[in-house]
Amino acid sequence: MTDAPVTVEAALLDAITVPDGTGKAIPDAASGETIGDAPIHTVDDLETAIAAATEAQRGWAALGHAERSRLLHLAADEIEAHAEELAHIIAREQGKPLNGAGARFEAGGCAAWIRNAADTVIEPEVLFEAEDTRSELHYAPLGVVAAIGPWNWPALIGVWQIAPSLRMGNAVVVKPSSFTPLSVLALVELMNRHLPVGVLAVVAGNRDVGARIASHPGVAKVMFTGSTDTGREIVRSSADNLARLTLELGGNDPGIVLPGADVAALAERLFWGIFINTGQTCAALKRLYVHDSVYDDVVDALAALANSVPMGPGTDEASLLGPLSTPQQFAIVSGLVDDARARGARIVTGGQPAPELGAQFYRTTIVADIDDGAALVTEEQFGPVIPVIRYADVDDAVARANASEQGLGASVWGDVDTARSVAARIESGTVWINQHGTLNPTVPFGGVKASGYGLEFGAHGLKAVAAPKVITV
């Protein structure tokens, strides 16, 4: 009998999985083979975790910023030391390739964002000073923060919620997506090798666990990244306990390519602004408005890249695009493309599954000659498909970009001075010029309209997970 091959991530998987048949079998997104069994936690497990977090939070807050930051740096060092193992778990479970802006990028980003949160200084702000009176604004811990994460960037978005909350003296209870619990379990396992017991816990449960979190009286704040519909449910559930909320919800990000844009110089940045993580990114470019004068050039350039960028399993070193993460998302993407085709849109390239690669692979797809009313334009596709929409007047393009109920990100492409004036008119939390979706741990990020509210990253993100307190002497 031949022993099974040892995978890169075997040791870390052993630390976070339960015996076969006793948990939820988590499939490899590319092959469908079981990676390991994740524990199935219950509402009772959630209650235990919140009680332990409440108790541990007092001592954690009392350590002070300097000591908490020191321990967070040790946690970041631990992640960095095991980054390859974590990256392989992410690549298999979520499907993103190891290379490019993929699983290794995500694992490395976890360490970088933790360090940034640990090192960002929040000084008391003097609000008023005259004669013998001085008023200062300080920031105190909230208590227990609940972090509910998505399946598309499970570890990195988890860190975006966890790191600032811990830095400001809170304890954190994490609820990962049921599709990608292993990545988050691995992240928390590594961090907890250096944190006090109870300060950071993960509850890998189902919908009943998620539903209980927002209404729980022991939760002071909920951070949620996911769909707009679920965000609305969280708002309703939090009404009775008045938990503070940071909601990063869906985004149907528009891009506007201006007349005279240098297509050859911008094409690759456009492509990756659209197709990072095979399009499964909240702040990826989802609908592209292109001026008549450069329309054909943009379509041709994107199609050439779509046909040349390799797609395959996440653990294949040659892959730069991977599968759809879930069967549900594969069905959504397929349905939107089929609807566009039925409406008479031109499928320039792609437009069909790639079954030779695996059941959840869909070919990189460029759709041209499509109107705003098509579902592919009005709905967030979250996959390797981009509708390219022709326009003749910039004012009209801005109006069409703003017509969505969502406003997470947007971008303008072309002459920088002209792009600045156009960017000022777009209704979005972030507008990039000649790039899309680039994030910086020091620069605040958040949406408007139905894309949620609250800010993450940098000093603004730290303040969002703390209670403002005015001290007047």
Verify whether residue 110 is a known catalytic residue. Answer: no
What is the distance between the alpha carbons of residues 412 and 259, in angstroms, rounded to a whole number?
Answer: 11
Q: By the 8 A CB rule, do 314 and 95 touch?
A: yes
Verify whether residue 47 is a known catalytic residue. Answer: no
- For 77, the token pair is 């060092």
Q: Are strands 200-202 and 221-225 parallel, antiparallel or unpaired?
A: unpaired
Q: Which residue from 180, 148, 177, 213 is spatially nearest to 452, judged by alpha carbons? A: 148
Q: How many beta carbons lie within 10 A of that of residue 242, not counting itself?
A: 9
Of the listed 9, 282, 380, 456, which one is catalytic? 282
The secondary structure of the chain, three-state, reads CCCCCCCCCHHHHHHHCECCCCCEEEECCCCCCEEEEECCECHHHHHHHHHHHHHHHHHHHHCCHHHHHHHHHHHHHHHHHCHHHHHHHHHHHCCCCCCCCCHHHHHHHHHHHHHHHHHCCCCCEEEEEECCEEEEEEEEECCEEEEECCCCCHHHHHHHHHHHHHHCCCEEEEECCCCCHHHHHHHHHHHCCCCCCCCEEECCECHHHHHHHHHCCCCCEEEEECCHHHHHHHHHHCCCCCCEEEEECCCCEEEEECCCCCHHHHHHHHHHHHHHHHHCCCCCEEEEEEEHHHHHHHHHHHHHHHHHCCECCCCCCCCCECCCCCHHHHHHHHHHHHHHHHCCCEEEECCCECCCCCCCCECCEEEECCCCCCHHHHCCCCCCEEEEEEECCHHHHHHHHCCCCEECEEEEECCHHHHHHHHCCCCCCEEEECCCCCCCCCCCECCEECCEECCECHHHHHHHCEEEEEEEC
What is the distance between the alpha carbons of residues 220 and 467, in angstroms, rounded to a whole number?
Answer: 10
Distances, alpha carbon 454 to alpha carbons 70, 244, 448, in Å:
27, 10, 9
What is the distance between the alpha carbons of residues 465 and 451, in angstroms, rounded to a whole number?
Answer: 19
Of the listed 85, 93, 106, 248, which one is catalytic? 248
Give the active site residues: 248, 282
